[in-house]
Amino acid sequence: MKALILSGGKGTRLRPLTHTMPKQLVPVANEPILGYVLRHIQDAGIKEVGVVVSPETQNDVRRFLGKGSRWRVRITYIPQEEPLGLAHAVKIARPFLGDSSFVMYLGDNLLAQGIKEFVEDFHSASLDALIFLKEVNNPQAFGVAVLNKKGQVTKLVEKPKVPPSNLALVGVYFFSPGIHEAIKRIKPSARGELEITDAIQELMRSGGTIKGEILEDWWLDTGKKDDFLAANTVVLDDYIKRDIQGKVDSKSKVSGRVRLEKTGKIINSTVRGPVVIGKKCEIVNSFIGPYTTIGHGTHIINSAIEHSVILDECRIENIARLEDSLIGREARVVHPQNHSSALRLLIGDNNIVEV
């Protein structure tokens, strides 16, 4: 089995941050989302990985993933000149995929349990496709599946106005090589894309067996700021253990599950976990509340931050309360004395906010 990771797209819902960074590289708990995806693929024992990249962001993706040695996989990069649909990504990846079965994993999605247990299930059941599903409150925003009593997919609809179920397609799919012939027989949708839902429907029409797996644990699509902050919250809850490697002075109080990396410093401050603080950070005369991630080389001075993600090399100074915020790399949020109101911000790299 091979893996196909989709790491293209423009990430418009996370702008301005994604003007300068692929959405798949925005870090959750100081690890880019693609890192979690590769970890799941590694844990599943898959060695050959194709990564679909766009012209705008491929250099950043290549720098982070390299040849794949960090995850003990071999990576082949597959350029996609335009985002013409998930099925189009499979189509252009055919030379890499050959006649192998494969798992397709959207690079901006996070799953709680990974995919290891499903690889054997897919092969042992001789399926043509296995699609992951999750019950959602807004199925009209997703591709939606209908299952029979055996758990087999009987119908798929892309973003229906009147959803036939509340089972949304999660961004992970297992396919047999038969999907390639199905893609050849479909036409672009009204939005000009080759839809993977149409390809799966065609696979069903030609007699293929498609099973739906309803996930019980969490699944997160990190396309928007609130989704991204939710992902950070869940990952901090599930993955972070107390690990103080940096320096904490005698005037500071650090409670709960806090990871302070080497060369990080906490000075005359209070930190309540779960929190991750990166290398070469300085937290001075500040409060860092739960569900906060602070990137490497960032300085927090005379400020209070909670439920936020602050990327690398930022400076937050004299801000009485910053919450529910996503702050890009090398950004500055400062006040000359002490700003008393609560701020909620989404700002991109190198931005300066003076309040």
Task: Please state, in angstroms and rounded to a whole number, the distance separating the CA atoms of residues 6 and 83.
Answer: 10
The label of the residue with tokens 């599946």 reads: 145
Tell me the pTM. 0.84
C-alpha span between 315 and 171 (Å, rounded): 35
Query: Which CATH number fits the domain that encloses residue 158?
Result: 3.90.550.10
The last residue of one of the domains, among 236, 257, 284, is 236
Domain tally, the chain: 2
The verdict on 173 and 253 lying in the same domain is no
143-147 and 153-158 beta bridge pairing = antiparallel
Task: For residues 198 and 50, state if they share a domain.
Answer: yes
Give the domain range for residue 220. 2-236
Q: Are residues 175 and 302 in the same domain?
A: no
Helix (H, G, I), strand (E, B) or coil at 303: coil
**Are 230 and 283 members of one domain?**
no
pLDDT given for residue 9 in this prediction: 62
Q: Residues 212, 260: one domain?
A: no
Position 191 scores a pLDDT of: 82
CB 198 within 8 A of CB 182: no
* Contact between 28 and 37 (Cβ < 8 Å): no
> 265 and 227: one domain?
no
Q: Which of 212, 236, 260 is the last residue of a domain?
A: 236
Residue in the structure block whose two tokens are 């990504």:
89
pLDDT at position 18: 62
Sign of CA dihedral 48, 120, 91, 169: negative
Residue 124 and residue 52 share a domain:
yes
27 and 166, same domain (yes or no): yes
What local confidence, expressed as pLDDT, does residue 222 receive? 61
pLDDT by residue for the chain (355 residues), tens only, comes to: 999 999 876 555 556 666 667 778 888 888 888 998 999 999 999 999 999 998 888 888 999 999 999 999 999 999 998 888 899 999 999 999 999 999 999 988 888 778 888 888 888 888 899 999 988 888 888 888 888 888 888 888 878 888 888 898 888 999 999 999 999 999 988 888 888 989 998 998 888 888 888 887 777 766 667 777 888 888 898 888 999 999 999 999 999 999 999 999 999 999 999 999 999 999 999 999 999 999 999 999 999 999 999 999 999 999 999 999 999 899 999 987 766 678 898 888 888 888 7
Quote the CA–CA distance of 298 and 289 in Å, as a whole number: 16
pLDDT score for 354: 82
Q: What is the CATH number of the domain that holds 309?
A: 2.160.10.10
The predicted pLDDT at position 14 comes to 58
Task: DSSP letter for 26, please.
Answer: S
Euclidean distance between the first and final Cα of the chain, in Å? 53
- Could you tell me if 227 and 188 lie in one domain? yes
Euclidean distance between CA atoms 113 and 33, whole angstroms: 15
What is the rounded CA–CA span in Å between residue 234 and residue 242? Answer: 16
Q: Other C-beta atoms within 10 Å of 329: how many? A: 21
Nearest in space to 175 (alpha carbons), one of 153, 155, 190 = 153
Q: Per-residue DSSP letters for 251-290?
A: T-EEESSEEE-TT-EEES-EEESSEEE-TT-EEES-EE-S
Which of residues 236, 261, 292 is at a domain's end?
236
Residues 257 and 10: their CA atoms lie apart, in Å, by 35
Rounded-to-integer distance, Cα 283 and Cα 326, Å: 18
According to DSSP, the residues that pair with 169 across neighbouring strands are 133
Separation between Cα atoms, residue 331 and residue 354, nearest integer Å: 11
* Whether residue 165 is found in the same domain as residue 259: no
- Half-sphere exposure of residue 205: CA atoms within 13 angstroms, side-chain side: 12
Do 68 and 204 lie in a common domain?
yes
Q: Which residues contact 317 (CB under 8 A, 6 or more apart)?
A: 299, 300, 301, 302, 303, 332, 333, 334, 335
Same domain, 206 and 75: yes
Task: Please give the Cα distance from 92 to 78 (Å, whole number).
Answer: 8
Residue 346 three-state SS: strand
Check: CB of residue 297 under 8 Å from CB of residue 277: no
Q: What is the pLDDT of residues 309-353, one digit of tens each?
A: 999 999 999 999 999 999 989 999 998 776 667 889 888 888 888
Euclidean distance between CA atoms 179 and 208, whole angstroms: 9
Interatomic CA distance for residues 66 and 49, integer angstroms: 12
